[in-house]
C-alpha cells in the first residue's frame, strides 16, 4: 500500500532504490567473503603442503558452481521474490566456509569451498542482486546497477584487510569461520529486509517510478524493450560475443585476485600489505562501478563503457608486470581496480538492452554461466599451472594483458538491438 501510494502521489522513495540498497549490501557481504580467498593460499600451502595448482582448483570449482547455480537463480528470479534465493544462498555459503576451516584433504576442500561456497555465492551474488535491480529501472538502469555493483568493491575493501589481519593473528581456520558466520547473519537479514519484491508492475508501480512506460532502453531500441526468450537469445550471435569478451575479462580478474597476494608475498611484501592490495582494488573498483555504470547511460551504446574498462584493466596489468615494491603493487591495484569496476554493472546493462528487461533473470543467469563458469573458472587454475610450470607470475600477467586487449577488440562486433537479430 505504501509503495502504491508513492506511485500515485509521486511522494516518498521509489521502492526500486530499496532494492538497490539491498543488492549493494548483499554484494558487499558475498563478494567480500569470496574475494578473500587469496589470503588463504599461502597458509594452506604451508600447513598442508598443497601446490598452488591444487589450491587454485578449489577457486576454479567455486567459480564453476557459482555459474551453474546462477542459471537456477536466474530462472527462479523470473518467478519468485529474490529474498528466498538469497537467504538460501547465505545459509549454504556459510556452511561451506565453516567446513573449509576443518578440511585436511583436497577433495574435502573442493567439496566445502568449491561446491558449497560456490553455490552459496551464486545465490547471493550479482545474478540475483543486479537482475533484481534491472527489473526496477530502464532510464536509470546504468546508474542503479552501478550503485548496486559498488557493494562488491565496498565489501572487498572492508573485509579483505580484516580477514588478512585475522588470519595473521588467529590462523586461517578462524578466518574461514568468521566469513561463514558473517555471511549467514548479514546475508539472511539483508535479503529479508530489502529483497522481498519481484518487479514494479506486480505492485502497481512502473520502472524508475515513472507514470508512463515509455523510456529509452540503454543499448536497445527506443521504447520499452520486448523480452527475448532464453532459447532465442542463445541463438543470437550477440549472446556469444558478449559471453566470450566478458568471460575473457573475468578470467583475468580471477587470475589476479587469487594470485596477486601470493605473488606479493613471493616478493617479500608483508602479508597484511599484500592482503590490503585486494582492498585497494576494491576501493578503486568502488569508484569505477559508479563511473562505468553511469557512463553507459550517456553513451550511444554501453559496450563502449565496457571496452574502456577492459583497456584500463590492461594498463593496470602492465604496471603489475614491473612491480617489485609495495608502491608498485598498490599503483597496479588502483589502476586495475578502476577498470575492473566496469564488470559488475556492464553485463546486466548490455543484456537488458539486447534481450529485454522481463527475461533478464533467465538470460543473465545463463550468460553468467559462460562468463563466470568458463572464464572465471579457468582464471585461477591457468594461473596456478603457469606458475608451477615456469616458477614465475610474469607469463600470467602477460596473458592477462593479451586477453583484455582481445576482449576490447571483440566487443566492436556486438551489434545494437535495432541492428537486427544478428543470429548465427
Q: Tens digit of pLDDT for each residue in 25-55?
A: 999 999 999 888 888 988 988 888 888 788 8
- In the numeric block, which cell numbers belong to residue 236? 543470437
What length is written for the chain?
424
Average the pLDDT over 375-402 and give the result. 88
| Residue 400, pLDDT score | 94
Indicate the Cα dihedral angle 262, 123, 29, 294, nearest 10°: 90
Q: What angle do CA 28, 32, 37 make, to 5 degrees?
A: 160
**Of 25-39, 164-178, 353-367, the least confident:** 353-367
Q: Quickly state the pLDDT bin for 221 (edges 50, 70, 90).
A: very low
pLDDT score at 223: 37
Q: What angle do CA 400, 406, 409 make, to 5 degrees?
A: 145
CA distance 263 to 269: 9
Cα angle at 104 between 267 and 265, to 5 degrees? 5
In the structure grid, which three cell numbers stand for residue 114, read together?
Answer: 568449491
pLDDT score at 358: 64
Q: Residue 128: name the closest of 54, 26, 18, 8 by CA.
A: 26
| pLDDT on residue 77 | 82
Sequence-separated (6 or more) residues with CB below 8 Å from residue 175:
36, 39, 40, 101, 163, 166, 167
How many helices (H) and strands (E) are present in the chain, helices listed first?
A: 19, 0
Confidence check: pLDDT of 68 > 50: yes
- Of these ranges, 1-15, 176-190, 373-387, the one predicted with the greatest mean pLDDT is 176-190
Q: What angle do CA 53, 38, 92 make, to 5 degrees?
A: 95
| Cβ within 8 Å of residue 367, ≥6 positions away | 239, 242, 243, 246, 347, 351
Residue 252 clears pLDDT 90, i.e. is over it: yes
Q: Does 391 or 307 have the greater pLDDT score?
A: 307
C-alpha cell at 9: 502521489
Q: How many CA atoms lie within 13 A of 213 on its CB side?
A: 11
Higher pLDDT: 309 or 369? It is 309
For the chain, which residues make up each domain, given as ranges?
2-419
The mean pLDDT of 215-226, rounded to a whole number, is 43
Measure the CA–CA gap between 367 and 304, rounded to whole angstroms: 19
Instruction: Confirm if 356 and 215 have CB atoms less than 8 A apart.
Output: no
Query: Is pLDDT of 160 > 50?
Result: yes
Q: Where are the alpha helices (DSSP H) in 82-233?
A: 82-100, 106-109, 118-124, 126-134, 141-170, 172-194, 230-233
> Which superfamily is assigned to 2-419 in CATH?
MFS general substrate transporter like domains (1.20.1250.20)
- On the question of pLDDT at 1 being above 60, the answer is no
Amino acid at each position: 500500500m505504501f509503495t502504491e501510494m508513492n506511485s500515485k502521489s509521486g511522494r516518498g522513495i521509489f521502492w526500486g532504490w530499496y532494492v538497490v540498497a539491498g543488492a549493494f549490501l548483499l554484494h558487499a557481504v558475498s563478494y567480500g567473503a569470496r574475494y578473500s580467498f587469496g589470503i588463504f593460499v599461502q597458509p594452506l600451502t604451508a600447513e598442508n603442503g598443497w601446490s598452488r595448482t591444487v589450491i587454485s582448483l578449489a577457486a576454479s570449482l567455486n567459480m564453476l558452481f557459482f555459474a551453474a547455480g546462477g542459471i537456477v537463480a536466474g530462472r527462479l528470479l523470473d518467478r519468485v521474490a529474490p529474498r528466498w534465493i538469497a537467504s538460501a544462498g547465505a545459509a549454504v555459503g556459510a556452511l561451506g566456509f565453516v567446513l573449509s576451516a576443518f578440511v585436511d584433504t583436497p577433495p574435502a576442500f573442493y567439496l566445502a569451498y568449491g561446491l558449497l561456497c560456490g553455490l552459496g555465492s551464486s545465490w547471493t551474488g550479482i545474478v540475483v542482486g543486479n537482475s533484481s535491480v534491472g527489473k526496477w529501472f530502464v532510464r536509470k538502469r546504468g546508474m542503479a546497477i552501478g550503485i548496486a555493483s559498488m557493494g562488491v568493491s565496498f565489501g572487498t575493501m572492508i573485509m579483505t584487510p580484516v580477514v588478512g589481519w585475522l588470519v595473521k593473528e588467529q590462523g586461517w581456520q578462524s578466518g574461514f569461520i568468521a566469513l561463514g558466520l558473517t555471511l549467514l547473519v548479514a546475508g539472511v537479514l539483508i535479503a529479508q529486509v530489502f529483497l522481498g519484491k519481484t518487479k514494479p508492475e506486480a505492485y502497481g508501480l512502473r520502472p524508475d517510478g515513472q507514470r508512463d512506460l515509455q523510456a529509452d532502453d540503454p543499448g536497445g531500441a527506443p521504447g520499452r524493450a520486448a523480452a527475448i526468450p532464453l532459447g532465442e537469445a542463445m541463438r543470437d550471435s550477440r549472446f556469444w560475443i558478449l559471453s566470450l569478451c566478458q568471460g575473457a575479462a573475468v578470467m583475468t580478474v580471477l587470475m589476479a585476485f587469487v594470485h596477486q597476494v601470493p605473488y606479493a608475498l613471493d616478493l617479500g611484501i608483508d602479508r597484511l600489505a599484500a592482503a590490503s592490495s585486494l582492498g585497494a582494488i576494491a576501493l578503486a573498483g568502488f569508484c569505477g562501478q559508479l563511473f562505468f555504470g553511469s557512463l553507459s547511460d550517456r553513451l550511444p551504446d554501453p559496450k563502449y563503457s565496457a571496452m574502456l574498462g577492459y583497456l584500463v584493466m590492461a594498463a593496470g596489468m602492465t604496471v603489475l608486470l614491473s612491480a617489485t615494491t609495495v608502491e608498485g603493487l598498490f599503483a597496479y591495484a588502483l589502476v586495475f581496480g578502476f577498470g575492473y569496476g566496469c564488470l559488475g554493472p556492464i553485463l546486466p546493462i548490455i543484456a537488458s538492452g539486447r534481450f529485454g528487461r522481463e527475461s533478464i533473470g533467465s538470460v543473465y543467469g545463463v550468460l553468467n554461466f559462460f562468463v563466470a563458469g568458463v572464464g572465471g573458472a579457468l582464471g585461477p587454475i591457468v594461473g596456478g599451472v603457469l606458475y608451477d610450470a615456469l616458477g614465475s607470475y610474469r607469463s600470467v600477467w602477460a596473458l592477462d594483458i593479451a586477453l583484455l586487449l582481445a576482449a576490447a577488440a571483440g566487443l566492436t562486433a556486438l551489434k545494437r538491438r535495432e541492428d537486427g537479430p544478428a543470429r548465427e
